[in-house]
Amino acid sequence: MMSTWKHMLLAGAAAIAPAHAFAAPTEAPLAEVVATEDAQTEYSSEAAMADAKAKMQKEIDQVIALIEKIYGTDKLPPVAPAQLALAQQTTAALVPPGSLEKMIDNLYGKLFKGILGEMGGMSDLMLSIKTGVESEKIALLDEPSKTAIADMLDPYRQQREDQVMTVIKPLISEALRDMEAPMRSGMAQAYARKFTAQQLTDMNGFFATPAGGAYTSEWMALQADPQVMLTMIKAVPPLITKFMDRAPAIEKDMKELPKEKQLSDLSDAELTKLAKLMKVDVKVLKEQRDMWTGDAVDTTAVDAATDEPAYDASADAAVEAAEAAADAAASIDPAFDRNNWSAADRKRVEDAEAAIEAASVGAVDAEETAVANARKRLPPSAD
């Protein structure tokens, strides 16, 4: 965006240009240079935004095409107009205007404000980082004391939080309102196919009653009710434990099949047949087979044989650069500097990171052991 001083410069140049256009034609280039510089910057920004939007739309179109292919939604027969009208009445009751916003408010009003409190200086951890006092000691303070401390460190903290809510919440509300019409449309198609005309009529009759109206106005918001979400989260560990306990029995009951064939498992005659099916020279498949069965693998030759592009290390380099940039951006805030953390807080974070790393290594080791055990049990493949 053009800086303030450049706006002033251009405005002044525009104001005096008519009066001096003929008397001092050499003064114009200054404004032209500034205008050209800012125009290029703004054009570059607009072009980058346009490219980003085009890329996003292309990716969304690919996802849509994939979903249509998997589910065959583009090949479904049309719904009878009368049936669709009943379903539209049903979904209009189930998704009245403001439903999505009410659902998100259960999260937004509580969760988002809680996050603002955590990151805005009210949490024990953030107060500890800013003051160097152990978070355990801060936890013993009452809320008025914590609020007073946070206000001393940032007198405009509340205004800052209010501004974030004022700016972000209307945008979220607008986006959710835009989503409701497509959601009702898709639901109407699904309901028209799933339920009979009589069932839809019965639903619409119930939704027209006081009890039905109360249900339709709250059912979606209740999906994000804190009690519902909390019980769902609490149900996850027992579910995982059940699968872990039954893993040996499941593994025993699962039917064991020979592993899939690789090129090295095929005879020359089979390779010739495969080459004809794939319309390639049999030498390509044999070279590929020999590459993978040799002691050393030349990745360049493998890529050439399989008509696949060679591995591009720049992709990993780009990811690493992005991560480094993110780390650099985070380091601007001294709160992210671990040297500013209390010993107790730093130990908790490091213990959690160590546990995650150990779990990752353990998962890899367990997978390798499972593969090795499976290979021992499988019969040798025949050539």
| Model confidence pLDDT, tens digit, residues 37-73 | 555 555 568 888 888 888 989 998 898 888 888 888 8
Give the integer Cα–Cα distance in Å for 123 and 95: 37
Same domain, 86 and 191: yes
pLDDT in tens, 328-350: 555 556 676 777 778 888 888 88
231 in a domain, yes or no?
Answer: no
Check residue 216 and give its pLDDT. Answer: 92
Mean pLDDT of 23-47: 53
Give the integer Cα–Cα distance in Å for 286 and 268: 8
Asked if residues 130 and 246 have their Cβ atoms less than 8 Å apart, the reply is no
Q: Which of 276, 95, 68, 266 is nearest to 177 (CA)?
A: 95
- Among 173, 196, 223, the domain-final residue is 223
Same domain, 194 and 271: no
Check residue 173 and give its pLDDT. Answer: 80
Token output for 170: 């209307």
316 in a domain, yes or no?
Answer: yes
Same domain, 44 and 82: no
Q: What is the CA radius of gyration of the chain?
A: 32
Same domain, 297 and 321: yes
Same domain, 103 and 48: no
3-state helix, strand and coil shares in percent for the chain, rounded to the nearest 5: 80, 0, 20
Q: What dihedral do alpha carbons 319, 323, 329, 333 form, nearest 10°?
A: 170
169 in a domain, yes or no?
Answer: yes
Give the integer Cα–Cα distance in Å for 301 and 294: 12
Phi, psi of 213 (to 5 degrees): -65, -40
Same domain, 192 and 173: yes
128 in a domain, yes or no?
Answer: yes
The burial of 124, by beta-carbon neighbours within 10 Å (0-12 exposed, 13-18 middle, 19 or more buried), is given as buried
Give the integer Cα–Cα distance in Å for 18 and 16: 6
Asked if residues 120 and 160 have their Cβ atoms less than 8 Å apart, the reply is yes
pLDDT in tens, 82-129: 999 999 999 999 999 888 888 877 765 655 555 555 555 567 877 888
The most confident of the ranges 30-34, 168-172, 292-296 is: 168-172
Asked if residues 306 and 288 have their Cβ atoms less than 8 Å apart, the reply is yes
Q: Helix 343-377 to helix 124-131 angle, to the nearest 10 degrees?
A: 120
Task: Name the pTM for this structure.
Answer: 0.47
131 in a domain, yes or no?
Answer: yes
309 in a domain, yes or no?
Answer: yes
Please give the single-letter amino acid code of residue 114. Answer: G
Total domain count, the chain: 3
On average, the pLDDT of the chain sits at 75
Same domain, 304 and 218: no
- Among 223, 253, 274, the domain-final residue is 223
Mean pLDDT of 116-144: 77
Check residue 51 and give its pLDDT. Answer: 87
- Which DSSP symbol is given to 110? I
Asked if residues 129 and 340 have their Cβ atoms less than 8 Å apart, the reply is yes
Per the structure, the complete domain to which residue 60 belongs is given by 4-74
Letter string b/e over residues 30-56, b meaning 16 or more CB atoms within 10 A of that residue's CB = ebeebbeebeeeeeeeeeeeeeeeeee
Same domain, 115 and 146: yes
Give the integer Cα–Cα distance in Å for 100 and 235: 25
- Among 169, 201, 223, the domain-final residue is 223
Residue 138 has pLDDT above 60, yes or no: yes
> How far from each other are the two terminal CA atoms of the chain, in whole angstroms?
68
The most confident of the ranges 110-119, 165-174, 300-309 is: 165-174
Asked if residues 34 and 9 have their Cβ atoms less than 8 Å apart, the reply is yes
Check residue 311 and give its pLDDT. Answer: 41
Residue 312 has pLDDT above 50, yes or no: no
237 in a domain, yes or no?
Answer: no
Give the integer Cα–Cα distance in Å for 337 and 330: 9
Same domain, 150 and 24: no
234 in a domain, yes or no?
Answer: no
Same domain, 275 and 337: yes
Same domain, 27 and 131: no
Same domain, 85 and 172: yes
Residue 54's contacts (CB-CB under 8 Å, 6 or more residues apart) are none
- Establish how many alpha carbons lie within 13 A of residue 120's alpha carbon, considering only the half-sphere containing its beta carbon: 21
Report angle CA 322, 327, 333 to the nearest 5 degrees: 140
